[in-house]
Amino acid sequence: MVSTPTSPPQSAHTAFQSAQLIPPETRFVDLDPGPEIPFMDYVRLLWGRRWIILGIVITFVILGAAWGSTRPKLYKARAEISVGERSAQIVKNQINFGPNYWELERYVLEQVRILETKRLTSRVVDRLGLATHPALAGSNPAARLRGMINAKRVEETNMVVLSLTSRDPNLASEWLNVFIDEYTAMNIEDNLERTRKVYEVIQSKLDPLRTQLAQSETLLLGFREKEGSLLFSDHEKNVISEQVDTLTTEYAHAKAERIRIETILAALRRIEASNVGEIALPEVMLNAAISQLRQQKNEIEMEITEKSGSLKPGHPVMKDLQSRLYGINELIQDQVKTLTASLETNFEIVKDREQSLLANLRTLKQESVELSRQSLELDRLEREYNQNKAFLEEMLARSKEADISATSAVNNVRIIEPAEPPGGPFSPNVQRIIMLSLVLGLFCGIGLVLGLDFMDQTIRSPDQAERVLGLEVLGLVPEMKEGMNNVGREALQALRTAVILASRTEGGQVLMITSAIPSEGKTMVAFELAKTLARAGSRVLLFDADLRKPRVHKIIEEKNESGLTTLMLGEAELGEVQHHLEDPKGLDVVTTGPLPPNPPELFAKPSFDRLLMKARTNYDWIIIDTPPIASVTDPVICAGHADMALLVVKYAGARHPVIRDAIRQLSRSGVHIAGILLNRFDVQREHYYSQYSYYRYTYTD
């Protein structure tokens, strides 16, 4: 939107401030493109090109609707079935309630794959005779029918949704129902086939089991008949065990007694009469005769001891005592021999008893071992017989279960919802196509606008101008024509204010107005700005310095017989060539006059500088309209005589590189570039309302 600032700007652009701090001979404008385009610029851009976007969207919608309307209509019949559920079965006198979760999951997935097999569709084709049907024309009608059917499992359930697509709604439902019937029949056949195979396997195992059972029974009976006289009852087995234990105990006692007597005999055989008293054997100590003889011996030995002190060994008394002692020892020895003979007799008795007990014990142990062997063999035969019998009974039960399963669990497919003729086509979905076309057209339109904007290197907004060119935008001026409207007048007043503020900063009085390329509207801007300054009470002199294509004389409708060239050649005075306008008062215009062959040399003459010095004393403002910078060098030379320069940039006119090159040339001349005027700005198209709302109000009003 056109800018009409009503108050002076608080600060200039950063690049403009930098340019003021650099000496004129080295001052250049910052031409860095700067930051990215703000979001609102994109919004304004899209809104300004809304008719392009709308046209593309309408085109896409029309094409999408036409395409959707011409597409053949497709109908989809839908049905729901449940697979995997099985009836309760009796197995081993227990109820089997069916597979667990993971088994059911695997089974349902397997059935979905079966629904997608060619085998099933071939059955449908054969049943309905669809091999020559036009809808399935081709070399492989079963495969084409398979492509028309879709099976999808409902998550976390054992339900499957089946759908069939066709151009005929009645055929779609009919074929899908037949498809489900054939699937059910195939499922029944498969279950029966599995049951039959199981039954055959069981029957093939029964005859060998019967033979094996008969053999084990024969072996058991034969063993019982053969070993019947030797078989013992459980009571007899217990008696034998008790006898073995008793004999073992008695044998141990007899053996101990034999060892004890044998030990005593060995000791007695080593005893002599002289040392009988030294052996503390119970049999010796408890023997009465030996004890009495030992007592007599002790008395004689005491008497010998008493008389040995007074009598010599050869004394008759001593000899008598010795004789008596010898006789007692002989008697003791005889008693020991008698005792030994008695013990030897007892030893033989004990030894015989021990041998007898050992023989009897060995006999009983042999009988016990034989009994154990018979028991083990009998147990083995009985166990084998019982196992064969139990296995045969189990296989017979399985055979009966197979018969029951064949009738109770043949089919585990349930039809939840059969297929019905669809009420309308599902494809093409014209509404969806239109919505997609709308979205696609919107994206393409926006993409086209953004792409064109990306390739467009012209100036279309003040923000873009300041960001790309690095100069402050002093104003926005709409299309300039004779007979300005309110918007144009307000825009020029804003430009006047900005120029006055810039002149106060630089002390400028001579303002050069130029552009980068022709047809930017600089001449009309110069003339209207001069009129606006004059209406404010200033004395203004407008020079038409465009010595290539002058236009000011056409605007004021005067002849161009004399003018600026006449003054610089010294052929006339300023008062002789200037034109005084009645509206407004205070504005004088000097046209170009005859066009010279070498305009740059003319501006380099001292006479042009003297002319400006003289004009400074009589006028408040001197405005110079110069040719475009990109076309000729006249403006660069003329800029050396001006205080300020105003660069006119047409909306969507010159490209960025051309404008930046013009700014560089002006900067090299040392002139202060006051800013940019964005001319012929399309206020309504750009909708620059947020910052320049005044013009919107004026236009609306």
Read off the pLDDT of residues 347-366 as tens digits, 9 standing for 90 and up.
888 888 878 888 887 777 77
More confident call, 284 vs 691: 284
More confident call, 7 vs 306: 306
Q: Does residue 229 lie in a domain region?
A: no
More confident call, 368 vs 521: 521
Q: Does residue 272 lie in a domain region?
A: no
Q: What is the DSSP letter of 314?
A: T
Q: What is the DSSP letter of 655?
A: B
Pair of tokens at residue 579: 């034109």
Pair of tokens at residue 119: 């085998």
pLDDT in tens, 660-676: 999 999 999 889 999 99
pLDDT score for 438:
92
Per-residue three-class SS string for 230-277:
CCCCHHHHHHHHHHHHHHHHHHHHHHHHHHHHHHHHHHHHCCCHHHHH
- Using alpha carbons, select from 370, 125, 158 the residue that is nearest to residue 244: 370
pLDDT average, residue stretch 595-611: 88
Name the band, by pLDDT with cuts 50, 70 and 90, for residue 91: very low
pLDDT score for 38:
64
pLDDT score for 31:
44
Pair of tokens at residue 670: 């040392």
Q: Is the pLDDT of residue 72 over 90?
A: no
How, if at all, do strands 644-650 and 672-679 pair? parallel
More confident call, 559 vs 385: 559
% of the chain at pLDDT higher than 70 = 81
Count of residues in the chain: 701
Query: Which helix or strand (DSSP H or E) is residue 360 part of?
Result: helix 316-408
Most confident of the ranges 12-21, 68-77, 511-520: 511-520
Pair of tokens at residue 290: 């030996």
pLDDT score for 587:
94
pLDDT score for 26:
36
CA distance 247 to 254: 10
pLDDT average, residue stretch 387-404: 73
pLDDT in tens, 96-117: 555 677 877 888 888 888 888 8
pLDDT score for 15:
34
How, if at all, do strands 540-544 and 510-515 pair? unpaired
pLDDT score for 546:
92
Pair of tokens at residue 196: 């039959």
Q: Does residue 361 lie in a domain region?
A: no
CA distance 76 to 418: 13
Q: Which domain holds residue 484?
A: 14-32+470-700
Q: Is the pLDDT of residue 386 over 80?
A: yes
Q: Is the pLDDT of residue 278 over 60?
A: no
pLDDT average, residue stretch 621-647: 91
The CATH number linked to 622 is 3.40.50.300
Q: Does residue 428 lie in a domain region?
A: no
How, if at all, do strands 89-91 and 94-96 pair? antiparallel
pLDDT score for 189:
83
Q: Is the pLDDT of residue 436 over 50?
A: yes
CA distance 462 to 681: 10
What's phi and psi for 540, nearest 5 deg? -125, 135
Comparing 4-8, 182-186, 297-301, 619-623, the range with the smallest average pLDDT is: 4-8
Q: Does residue 136 lie in a domain region?
A: no
pLDDT score for 299:
80
Q: Does residue 106 lie in a domain region?
A: no
Give how many domains the chain has, as a whole number: 1
Q: Does residue 621 lie in a domain region?
A: yes
Q: Is the pLDDT of residue 18 over 60?
A: no
In this structure, are residues 543 and 514 in contact, taking their beta carbons and an 8 Å threshold? no
pLDDT score for 4:
35
Most confident of the ranges 41-55, 75-89, 406-420, 639-653: 639-653
Given 3-state DSSP classes, what are the helix, strand and coil percentages for the chain, each rounded to the nearest 5?
Answer: 60, 10, 25
Name the band, by pLDDT with cuts 50, 70 and 90, for residue 517: very high
CA distance 665 to 532: 29
CA distance 648 to 22: 24
In this structure, are residues 676 and 517 in contact, taking their beta carbons and an 8 Å threshold? no
pLDDT score for 435:
93
pLDDT average, residue stretch 470-490: 75
pLDDT score for 200:
74
How, if at all, do strands 644-650 and 413-417 pair? unpaired
pLDDT score for 659:
92
pLDDT score for 698:
39
pLDDT score for 355:
83
Q: Does residue 157 lie in a domain region?
A: no
Tell me the pLDDT of the chain averaged across its residues: 78
Most confident of the ranges 31-40, 234-243, 358-367, 487-496: 487-496
pLDDT score for 34:
44
Pair of tokens at residue 207: 């005859």
End-to-end CA distance of the chain: 15
pLDDT in tens, 557-573: 999 989 999 998 888 89
Identify the bridge partners of residue 427 per DSSP, sorted by sequence position.
Answer: 74
- Helix, coil or strand: residue 94: strand
In this structure, are residues 290 and 335 in contact, taking their beta carbons and an 8 Å threshold? yes
Query: Cis peptide before 428, with omega less than 30 degrees from 0?
Result: yes
More confident call, 289 vs 632: 632
Q: Which amino acid appears at position 213 of this protein?
A: L
pLDDT average, residue stretch 509-531: 92
- Helix, coil or strand: residue 427: strand
Q: What is the DSSP letter of 26?
A: G
pLDDT score for 513:
95
For residue 221, how many other CB atoms are within 10 A of its CB? 12
Most confident of the ranges 220-229, 320-329, 414-423: 414-423
